[in-house]
Amino acid sequence: MTTPAPVPTRKEIQITGIRKHVAECVTEIDGTECGAHSNVWDTAMYLDVWIRAHADEYEHKKFVKRTEEPVNVYTKPAKRPQ
Ligand SMILES: [Zn+2]
């Protein structure tokens, strides 16, 4: 038995906007995450700056960097028979 491959569909995914970058502090304090977020930027270059500043201020040490980009899904027209 092999793992079945995902069934191909005619769904297409198209990026519709600018990729956004945000950093989040996931340092645990008394069992809950800090949860502080940076601003959302069009570039990743400010994330490290924000992380260093937050780490300096609160001595927090665990972060995640997230990127997100808006996409639309649309269905391609059916292929014509060859
Ligand atoms: Zn924090």
Question: What does the alpha-carbon distance between residue 21 and residue 13 come to, in Å, rounded to a whole number?
Answer: 20
**Ligand 1 center to residue 49 CA distance, Å?**
14
Rounded to the nearest whole angstrom, what is the distance from the C-alpha of residue 70 to the centroid of ligand 1? 27
Domain count, the chain: 1
Is 2 a member of any domain?
A: no
Supply the mean pLDDT for the chain: 90
Q: Are the CB atoms for 15 and 69 separated by under 8 Å?
A: yes
In a domain, 4, yes or no: no
**CA separation for the pair 22, 43 (Å, rounded):** 9
Mean pLDDT of 12-41: 95
Tell me how far the alpha carbon of residue 25 lies from the centroid of ligand 1, in angstroms. Answer: 5
User: Is 14 domain-assigned?
Assistant: no
Q: 47 C-alpha vs ligand 1 centroid, how far in Å?
A: 14
Percent of the chain residues past pLDDT 90, beyond the cut: 74
Distance 5 CA to ligand 1 centre (A): 40
Range of the domain at 55: 23-73
Whether 78 is covered by a domain: the verdict is no
